[in-house]
């Protein structure tokens, strides 16, 4: 299936408010800014390269996805929740993004407005501004969550895991967590296995209770 065919399938579902950004491996459907859609496309492509390079150097043979990977980006949390609650129920309220294994699509919303990460006097007018916002320590968990879901999509479309099969939860979540912490400061690409310090702290709190 070509990117154009994927877009033709999405248009009736998403409506006329959405635009489409194509990268080498993704189709990004969005009703937020063009700049943000381009940034998220670059983020996913960096992950795609890092993910494939990691397994190739370990002689794990991956397959190229049969069709472009789809991510849908809503402009704000409210519009995201209107869709997500129909898709996955009330649990959507506690999630800033998710991968739907049935539709094979990712869903999220524009993260630059999360938790006041955009200063009141600042406008998101360039990818440099987005990088500045989302490279801040308080944004690490936010970006890692989206990357986590993107890893699920990659694993199920590269032959590493089989979609809709009985995959062990510890394996699926472990894979996503291993790749999830991005290094947005590095121009070289993805650093695999970075520590997600938020989850590390939660583990440290949990272990004494076992």
Of residues 146, 148, 144, the one with CA closest to residue 73: 146
* Alpha carbon distance 166, 169 (integer Å): 9
The predicted pLDDT at position 168 comes to: 95
- Of 68-72, 93-97, 113-117, 124-128, highest mean pLDDT: 68-72
> What is the CA 198 to chain-centroid distance, rounded?
18
Q: What is the CATH number of the domain that holds 32?
A: 3.40.30.160
The predicted pLDDT at position 44 comes to: 93
Say if residue 83's pLDDT is above 80. yes
pLDDT band at 188 (very low <50, low <70, confident <90, very high): very low
The predicted pLDDT at position 109 comes to: 92
Phi, psi of 16 (to 5 degrees): -75, -10
The predicted pLDDT at position 71 comes to: 98
Higher-scoring residue by pLDDT: 128, 105:
105
Range(s) of the domain holding residue 165: 3-209
Enter the pTM of the model.
Answer: 0.85
Say if residue 122's pLDDT is above 80. no
Q: What is the pLDDT of residues 129-142, one digit of tens each?
A: 666 666 666 566 77
Q: Report helix, strand or coil for 204.
A: helix
> What is the CA 194 to chain-centroid distance, rounded?
16
Average pLDDT over residues 108-137: 62
Higher-scoring residue by pLDDT: 142, 96:
96
- If one counts the domains in the chain, the total is 1
Return the HEC string of 22-82: ECCCEEEEECCCHHHHHHHHHHHHHHHHHHHHHHHCCCCCCCCCCCCEEEEEECCHHHHHH
Average pLDDT over residues 196-210: 83
Q: What is the pLDDT of residues 32-80, one digit of tens each?
A: 988 889 888 988 998 999 999 999 999 999 999 999 999 999 999 999 9
* Alpha carbon distance 175, 190 (integer Å): 15
Q: What is the pLDDT of residues 142-185, one digit of tens each?
A: 778 889 999 999 999 999 999 999 999 999 999 999 988 766 66
* Alpha carbon distance 146, 96 (integer Å): 8
């Amino acid at each position: 299936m070509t990117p154009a065919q994927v877009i033709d399938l999405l248009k009736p579902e998403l409506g006329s408010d959405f635009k489409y950004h194509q990268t080498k491996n993704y189709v990004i459907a969005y009703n937020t800014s063009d700049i943000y859609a381009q940034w998220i496309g670059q983020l996913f492509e960096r992950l795609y390269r890092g993910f494939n390079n990691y397994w190739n150097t370990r002689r794990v043979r991956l397959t190229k996805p049969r069709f472009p990977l789809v991510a849908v980006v809503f402009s704000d949390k409210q519009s995201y929740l209107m869709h997500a609650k129909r898709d996955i129920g009330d649990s959507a309220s506690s999630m800033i993004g998710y991968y739907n294994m049935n539709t094979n699509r990712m869903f999220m919303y524009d993260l630059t407005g999360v938790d006041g990460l955009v200063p009141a006097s600042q406008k998101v007018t360039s990818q440099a501004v987005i990088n500045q916002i989302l490279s801040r320590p308080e944004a690490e968990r936010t970006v890692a969550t989206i990357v986590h879901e993107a890893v699920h999509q990659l694993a199920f479309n590269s032959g590493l895991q089989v979609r809709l099969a009985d995959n062990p939860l510890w394996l699926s979540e472990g894979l996503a967590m291993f790749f999830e912490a991005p290094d947005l400061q590095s121009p070289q690409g993805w650093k695999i296995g970075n520590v997600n310090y938020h989850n590390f702290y939660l583990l440290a709190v949990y272990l004494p209770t076992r």
